[in-house]
Structure 1
Amino acid sequence: MKTIVVTGGTSGIGQALAHTCLERGERVVVVAPDPVKGKKFLDTAQRTGAEGRAFFIEADLSLVSENRRVIADITETFEAVDALVLCARYFRSYRTVTPEGFEHNFALYYLSRYLLGRGLAGPMNKADAPVVLNIAGPGVGPAGVKWADLGLEHGYDGWSAMFQGGRLNDLLGVAYAEPGNGHRARYVLLFPGGTRTGFAGDFDPATALHIEQMKRAAQPVGTTVPPLVELIESPPHAPLSAFVEGMPLSLLRPAFDKRDAARLERVTRELLRDTAGAP
């Protein structure tokens, strides 16, 4: 029986994948901030006979401390983790800073994924064919990173924050897959295509209207799940892969520059050193 960890697993793509994996007989650990939605996940599992295989960890993954607590909890509870699926994301039209001093999108969309991928390397290395699925937007949109302003203190815009988060995750995947890091898990960056999900966020009026238009044109969430299940069952052979709507993406693009990935790794470790040490 595989153990699947899904962040953002109480809504959208994460929720659909979590329930599908339960139906397939897997053990599923959902990490999300809303205890009401978490109870609903567990209640559904109980009704369908999957009670002993469904787990919910309530956590605000925009906080470094909460990510570390989740890592410790999972590591202590499960001997091996076969798949880590990173779906948690929250759009903000207005810049917000976490209690730990990080811009919210940077903290949730990038730092959390950095911490969980590295922090769970131990139990993932014990799995037969471990894989990290990072649901982001690989290689698309503006390729540049605002190195001097990662927290977007100047000229913040919600869409710019999301695009920069995508670029940071591209580089995160590159750094994770570098030889000698001690990670057995395959790392997969993927964008499944526009999907009719809740698209959680705090929107200004113009953005809210745009999001509703996007939802009407998007594919049903159920159509995004089978390719994810396939990747969990049979991870790619390469240490790092990127896919956009099922099509493989060349890693020779500027978005996957190894020097930028090494630079981001150094910067991230410096930032985390001020919050009780890097993983």
Structure 2
Amino acid sequence: MKTIVVTGGTSGIGQALANTCLGRGDRVVVVAPDPVKGKKFLDAAQKAGAADRAVFIEADLGLVSENRRVIAEIEQRFAAVDVLVLCARYFRSRRMVTSEGIEHNFALYYLSRYLLGYGLADVMNKAETPVVMNIAGPGAGVPGIRWDDLGLERGYDGWVAMFQGGRLNDLLGVSFADGGSTRRARYVLLFPGGTRTGFAGEFDVATAAHIDQMKRVAQPVEFTVPPILKIIDAPPTEPLSAFVEGTPLSLLHPAFDKRAATRLDTITRQLLRDKASAS
């Protein structure tokens, strides 16, 4: 029985994966912000006779403090974590800053994934074949990272924020995989293809219309689960892998530049130190 942690596990791809893993006998820890959806997950597990393998942790992963609380709780409750699946994401047409002073998309889509991956590395080291599965958009051909404005204070656009978040996660995977023997978990970046999910967010009129069009041509969410399970059950041997709709992506792609990854890692560590000293 694997212990699988799924962020954003009460909707979309995360929900479909969590339910499938629970149904096949895994222990599933869902981390999400909505207690009502969390209760539905636990109630369904109870009806299926799987209550002892279902855990819900309510958390706003847009906050650094909440990520740290989740890490501490998981470390306390579980001897080992086999799989960490990072699905949590929330689109915003208008810029929003968290109560900790960080732009929300950067905080949730990138910084949370950074914190959870590194924060759970020790407990994942205790698993037999640990894997971090980052559901993002590896190698997307979008404009470069705004290094001087990661919080997009100037000219915020929801799509720019989302695509930049994908680029940041590419570099996160590079940095994590460079940990050598200190981190045993394989890091996998995966874009499963356009998927008919709830696409959580707050949209302006034009974006809402575009999202509706995307949903009409997207694949059912159930189609995304088998490829993810395949990787979970037989992780690649390489420290870092990237897949786009099942096709491996070369790590020679510019999106995986090691110098840029080191630059981002340095910026992120300094940001976290500054937040810690200010609290």
Q: Same fold (TM over 0.5)?
A: yes
How far does residue 179 in structure 1 lie from its aligned partner after superposition? Answer: 4.1
Distance in 2 of aligned mates of 1:92 and 1:239: 32
Question: What SS does the corresponding residue of 1:4 show, helix, strand or coil?
Answer: strand
Residue 159 of structure 1 is matched in structure 2 by 159
Unpaired segments ≥5 residues, structure 2: none
Residue 209 of structure 1 is matched in structure 2 by 209
Residue 248 of structure 2 is matched in structure 1 by 248
Residue 58 of structure 1 is matched in structure 2 by 58
When the two structures are superposed, what TM-score results if normalisation uses the length of structure 2?
0.98
How far does residue 181 in structure 1 lie from its aligned partner after superposition? Answer: 6.4
Residue 263 of structure 1 is matched in structure 2 by 263
Residue 123 of structure 2 is matched in structure 1 by 123
Q: What value does the CA root-mean-square deviation take over the aligned residues? A: 0.8
Residue 101 of structure 2 is matched in structure 1 by 101
Distance in 2 of aligned mates of 1:122 and 1:24: 26
Question: What SS does the corresponding residue of 2:180 show, helix, strand or coil?
Answer: coil
Distance in 1 of aligned mates of 2:92 and 2:260: 26
Question: What SS does the corresponding residue of 2:66 show, helix, strand or coil?
Answer: helix
Distance in 2 of aligned mates of 1:95 and 1:147: 18
Question: What SS does the corresponding residue of 1:85 show, helix, strand or coil?
Answer: strand
How far does residue 16 in structure 1 lie from its aligned partner after superposition? Answer: 0.3
| 1:194 has 2:201 as partner | no
How far does residue 180 in structure 1 lie from its aligned partner after superposition? Answer: 3.5
1:143, 1:255 within 8 Å by CA — same for their partners in 2?
no
Residue 111 of structure 2 is matched in structure 1 by 111
Aligned length: 277
Residue 172 of structure 1 is matched in structure 2 by 172
Identity %: 76
Distance in 2 of aligned mates of 1:42 and 1:149: 41
1:141, 1:163 within 8 Å by CA — same for their partners in 2?
no
Residue 79 of structure 1 is matched in structure 2 by 79
1:82, 1:124 within 8 Å by CA — same for their partners in 2?
yes
Residue 41 of structure 1 is matched in structure 2 by 41
Unpaired segments ≥5 residues, structure 1: none
Alignment-mate amino acid for residue 212 of structure 2: E
Question: What SS does the corresponding residue of 1:148 show, helix, strand or coil?
Answer: coil
Deviations, residues 75-96 of structure 1 (Å, cap 9, x unaligned): 0000000000000000000000
When the two structures are superposed, what TM-score results if normalisation uses the length of structure 1?
0.98
Residue 9 of structure 1 is matched in structure 2 by 9
Distance in 1 of aligned mates of 2:30 and 2:181: 26
Alignment-mate amino acid for residue 74 of structure 2: I
Question: What SS does the corresponding residue of 2:148 show, helix, strand or coil?
Answer: helix
Question: What SS does the corresponding residue of 1:241 show, helix, strand or coil?
Answer: strand
Question: What SS does the corresponding residue of 1:226 show, helix, strand or coil?
Answer: helix
Distance in 1 of aligned mates of 2:158 and 2:97: 13
Distance in 2 of aligned mates of 1:98 and 1:276: 15
Pair 171,218 (structure 1): closer, same or farther in 2 beyond 3 Å: same
Distance in 1 of aligned mates of 2:225 and 2:180: 32
How far does residue 144 in structure 1 lie from its aligned partner after superposition? Answer: 1.1
